[in-house]
Structure 1
Amino acid sequence: MGITLVLMLIFIDSVSTFSISALTDSRNSTTEKEGKNADIIRSLLNQETIIRMALQQNVHILRKDLVTIQEKLTDVETKMSRNQVECTSAMSKLESRLLILIDENAALTNAIRSDLENCNENQLMSSMEIQQINQTLAGFDLKQDVAFTVGIAEFNKTWNSGTLVYNKIISNIGNGYNANTGVFTAPFGGTYVFYIAAVEYEKQDLGLDIVLNNKSKVRLIGNNQAAYQTGTNMVVLSLGKGDEVWVKRSYGKGFHSHGVPLTTFTGFLIKHV
């Protein structure tokens, strides 16, 4: 009985000691876990603080970049607005210039058309005059021993006085025309025909007379309504031996011609006295 009691007390003491030891171990384990958790929490807080600071710095940088972008955008919009104004102004000037060019082109077209019409009229007149000459000559004895055609092989825009000397001899049957003086001298008496044609120089008036012994007989004109107007005239004269015929300036200045003469002087005998 006594032994049994002793054994029970020993058992109870062992159980109590084990329980107290187990409880102490449990508390120590809980304390260690709580310490670890606290460390984790502190680490997370530190990381959160670092992240927050980094975010704040990034937000500051982004705001600064946004301000810079807005300034650049404003500058671009200003330049675009200014360029638009300049482009509008330039387009307006180009449109005005285009209208002027259209008007100038229309005026030039009308001028060319007018010149062509005048040229056609002059050519028609020249053809009619040649036909008249041919009809006139048809009734005469064409056995000629005196005839000449002379011309000028270059233009002269300043000539304005005296006798017009034709320096290019095309024909000079009978040698009545003097290329140095520009004067035809009748080798003998008879009825002669003289014809002149001249082209005025670039809208400069031109008047030329056929002169017999210092007396003007007929006159051609090239007016200044258009450039390079052609004037012609013809006369039939009774000449005595030694009479002189030439072409002189009446008014205006200059004349047009080239290698194949445009400005010419022609004369021939149609009847002996």
Structure 2
Amino acid sequence: MMKSPLTLLALVVCLAESQTIAVSEIDDTNITDFTDNVDRQRGMDSVVLRQLLNQETLIRMSLVKNVHAMMKDMVSFKDMALSLQNEMADLKQTITDEMTKRVKDARVLKREIQKLKEMDRKLEERLVDQNQTDSSLREELEKTKSDQKGFEITVLANQEQLDRNVSERLSDINVHVRILSMSLIELQRHAQQIEKTVPELIEEKFQVVSQMMSNVSTSLLEDSNGTLSEIKADLSDTQQIQLKLSSAVLSLEWFRNNISSGGSDSKKGIGFTAGTVSDNRYWNSGKLVFSSVLYNEGNGYNPLTGVFTSPTQGFFVFYVTINAYGSTTVYVDIVQNSVSKVRALAYGSTSHQTGTNMVVLNLRDGDKVWVQFHSGQGYHTNSIPITTFTGFMI
């Protein structure tokens, strides 16, 4: 192992000091020999010292070089350490941010899970309520079906009883009508006999009067003329009574025929009148629904849709009245099966102008008629309807 230059230098100094001490202890007789020996020794020591100094210089230079290299390595290491420290700080910050984000995400997920649990609980509660509601509805439906069956049985029983009563009543009416017809026929026969007898009586009385006129004075002639006028008036009254009796017989015969065929003609009882009871200033499309029904014989008009459906074939009259809202103008059509037939105009020259129109239509069974918007805007009415729609069979 190589000793350091400082150690070698210390050894040389110690050697020199020991030699000096040794010289002081030598007597004078040996000084010369000793001096020579010392000079030789010093020469050898100087050579050794120079060699040591050269080695020390080389070692120092090598140490300086190594120290410089080590300093460079230390600087590089320091830079690398700083870089690693920065990277560690960045990595730590990134990890911290990521952890913060993960914590926030975990909190959000936790809240979402809590919300989902709450929603699940509410859904379960709603499902329980729905099941209870379904059970209640099933019970009500079963009860309704049971009530409906009972109602149907009651209706059938009432219908049968009504049919029996109607049949009995119609039989009684037929009997009374036959009796009345026979009575009227007898009255007609009696009237015919009277009609045959009256001219003969008139002729006889006329002859008597003529004979009397030829035999009596002018006063008697005037009395005879009065009597003749009374007889003619009686004849006219008799003829009127005969006509009335004939008309009554015909009416009773027509009534008897209708009773025998099952009742009166239902076609004559079809008609409706409906109106609106609330304003609509913005109405500008579709059907005009007249929701307030005043009359609906035959139930042909539907107040929910505003449409009349003909229950039979025949001729019908339809009439519409439209009242404009304020000073606006509005056109409406009476429509048969999506085809406009007539149009009513309420022109807004002044406030609340009224438009009307009427049409006669030949409808088939199932044909539909309604009031349709054409142009303009809005209509006016009141609690007692002003805007109305009417139809009836003729």
* Structure with higher helix content: 2
- Range of TM-score over shorter length: 0.3 to 0.5
Normalising by structure 1, report the TM-score: 0.47
- Larger relative contact order (CA 8 Å, sep ≥ 6): 1
